[in-house]
Amino acid sequence: MALEKRVSDYLGGMTVLWVDMPDETGPDSERAYIERNSIALLSNALAPLDAINGNWLGCSSPREEIRRSRLWNLNHVLESVDRQFLDRLEQAVERTLRESRNRQFVSGQSR
């Protein structure tokens, strides 16, 4: 329970951007593409570029993929990143921010 609290406190202090993916869920969806390539990019085929803190909980994982990828994920850690991924992610983020600004503008207009 204390460990769960530490993890929750740590994650609670992070800033997160929610990227809207308006397509249907499925293996060929844009959201699956973004997920797959985000994991592949961060894991760098089990050779991450960033060093980790030796106290990271994943260092104690019995799963080599978690220890080596430095991610709490087993899916897609050995995959290569598609060359178009960052452009497509940028487009998704820009669309999300644009739609968010539009929603804020519309809700401000209706007051």
- Name the least confident of 22-26, 27-31, 45-49, 106-110: 106-110
**Burial status of residue 40 (CB atoms within 10 A of its CB: 0-12, 13-18, 19 or more):** buried
Q: Mean pLDDT in the chain?
A: 87
Which one is predicted more confidently, 111 or 83?
83
Average confidence (pLDDT) over 1-15: 87
Do the Cβ atoms of 48 and 88 come closer than 8 Å? no
Is-above-0.75 flag for pTM? no
